[in-house]
Amino acid sequence: MTTWFPVALMTAFAALVVGLMVTINAIVGPRSRDPVKGEAFECGNPPSGSAWRRFSVHFYLTAILFLVFDVEVVFLYPWAVTIRQLGATGLVEAGIFIVLMLAGLIYALRRGMLDWS
């Protein structure tokens, strides 16, 4: 039980700080009920159309592809730092990894996942 005491103490302290900040904000914070403040904000542009319109699936595919390739590129940084210690085996493995990434990108391009027309 003594090993969990610091965790419980830190959790209680964090909850106390959060509660204190929310209470101070409710007491001291501004209370303007401006109708303009309640409007939707679209990157500095005035809102247009319904908020319930459908987005193209290409938007989501592009976002998912970006995340997948971005995460894969992050895996190349440790390899680049330790390339001398890994030797030829590490070079071959990284080459295979890069070829697989390029194969996935070519597949996405051929399937038209990045074509917005």
- Is the residue at 117 inside a domain? no
Instruction: For residue 9, give the amino acid letter.
Output: L
Q: What is the residue range of 30's domain?
A: 5-110
**Spatial separation of the C-alpha atoms in residues 96 and 68, rounded to whole Å:** 17
Give the count of domains, the chain.
Answer: 1
The reply to whether 115 falls in a domain is: no
Q: Is 84 exposed, middle or buried (0-12, 13-18, 19+ CB in 10 A)?
A: exposed
The answer to whether residue 116 sits within a structural domain is no
CATH number, domain with residue 95 = 1.20.58.1610
pTM value is: 0.50
Digits of tens for pLDDT over the chain (117 positions)? 678 999 999 999 999 999 999 999 999 988 877 777 777 666 766 667 776 777 777 778 888 888 888 888 888 888 888 888 989 998 899 899 999 989 988 998 898 887 777
